[in-house]
Amino acid sequence: MGENIIDTAAAAYVSRGNKATRTGFGEALLEIGRENSAVVGLCADLTGSLNMNQFRDAFPDRFFQTGIAEANMISMAAGLATTGKIPFAASFAVFATGRVYDQIRQSLCYSNLNVKVCASHAGLTLGEDGATHQILEDIGLMRGLPRMTVVVPCDYSETKRAARAIVQHIGPLYFRFGRPNIPDFTRDEDGFEIGKSIELHPGSDVTVIACGIMVWKALEAARILEKEGVGVRVINMHTIKPVDTLAIVRAANDTGAIVTAEEHQIYNGLGDAVAGVCARNIPVPIEMVGVEDQFGESGKPDDLLEKYKLTTADILEKIYLALRRK
């Protein structure tokens, strides 16, 4: 899922190998569980898939296997939160958002309870499980809820840093990560602050704002265009809500054109969030890389990303179009 080196005059992001973001979640949950006795884990019969086995084994009295009953899991998490616990309630993204939307809306957001909804296996890269499991609307569902925070890390290391940040956050939060092994390239010095994006590559001609697996692909595109003399600013927008308005406005002002990239529907996801900021502050040409009002299908992850136009080449195509529109 991408080449292994990004080399620029300002910084060098090098893949340390491929790791899954779900692995980062499982390891981080164990670490923060050791540090904070208020942290509890809940899972809807997918403990192995979400790498929660180590937490379960280390803290059997703080882990709750709810079975295939996601609505009950969210309601249990809400109850635990009222006692001062910090619940991490985890399942596949399609179940953690779509199946339990009513419980999240009423029990978590309306009541403003401190529950972390942790969702793995999101997007097309779930692969062979097909359209019924490849949710591409979850960011939109969650960002539309009052009081909900939405976090989408881009690699294994950032997932671990994000987990440490969200345990300190008070309030309902949606934490989205994935199944496949992808390049692990971010650095500890990048840090992680909810609501504050990270500029990974400088540029003054156009900006690519990406989240999740598309961040690495945006860096690949920036490297290619750097050889052509085109400066591409790359922003890792790991928090979709609250979105980093200041970074978006600054990028629009400095570069005059923006491309967004996400493994999600272009409607009501990162692209719409960025477009909304620009419409209210500084209108500029915006192009979006994402799934365009379609369901997924069964297939190998890389084949699906190519079919649905979520590749480095597709980001390049949108960059050229945005530049022509300036």
How many angstroms separate the CA atoms of 304 and 154, rounded? Answer: 19
Four-residue CA torsion sign, 128, 129, 130, 135: negative
Q: What is the structure's pLDDT at 220?
A: 96
Say if residue 10's pLDDT is above 80.
no
CB 264 within 8 A of CB 291: yes
Sheet of 198-201, strand order? 198-201, 232-236, 206-210, 258-265, 286-291
Exactly one of 27, 31, 35, 70 is catalytic; name it. 70
Residue 203 pLDDT: 96
Which domains does the chain carry?
A: 5-17+188-325 (3.40.50.920), 18-183 (3.40.50.970)
Burial 263-274 (b: 16+ CB within 10 A, else e): bbbbebbbbbbb
- Label each residue of the chain as H, E or C: CCCCEEECCCCEEECCCEEEHHHHHHHHHHHHHHHCCCEEEEECCCCCCCCCHHHHHHCHHHEEECCCCHHHHHHHHHHHHHCCCEEEEEEEHHHHHHHCHHHHHHHHHCCCCCCEEEEECCCHHHHHHCCCCCCCCHHHHHHCCCCCEEECCCCHHHHHHHHHHHCCCCCCEEEECCCCEEECCCCHHHCCECCECEEEECCCCEEEEECCCHHHHHHHHHHHHHCCCCCEEEEECCEEECCCHHHHHHHHHHHCCEEEEEEEECCCCHHHHHHHHHHHHCCCCEEEEEECCCCCCCCCHHHHHHHCCCCHHHHHHHHHHHHHHC
Which of the four pLDDT bands, split at 50, 70 and 90, describes residue 42? very high
Query: Does the structure show a pLDDT above 90 at 225?
Result: yes
174-183 pLDDT, tens digit per residue, is: 999 999 999 9
**What confidence tier does 13 reach under pLDDT thresholds 50, 70, 90?**
confident
> Would the pLDDT of 3 be above 60?
no
Asked if 113 and 81 count as a contact pair (C-beta separation under 8 A), the reply is yes
The answer, yes or no, to whether the previous bond of 242 is cis (omega within 30 of 0) is: yes
Q: What is the mean pLDDT of residues 212-236?
A: 97
pLDDT confidence of residue 9:
37
Q: Would you say residue 243 has pLDDT above 60?
A: yes
With a cut of 80, say whether residue 4 has pLDDT above it: no
| 70 belongs to the catalytic site | yes
pLDDT given at position 231:
97
Q: What is the pLDDT of residue 15?
A: 86
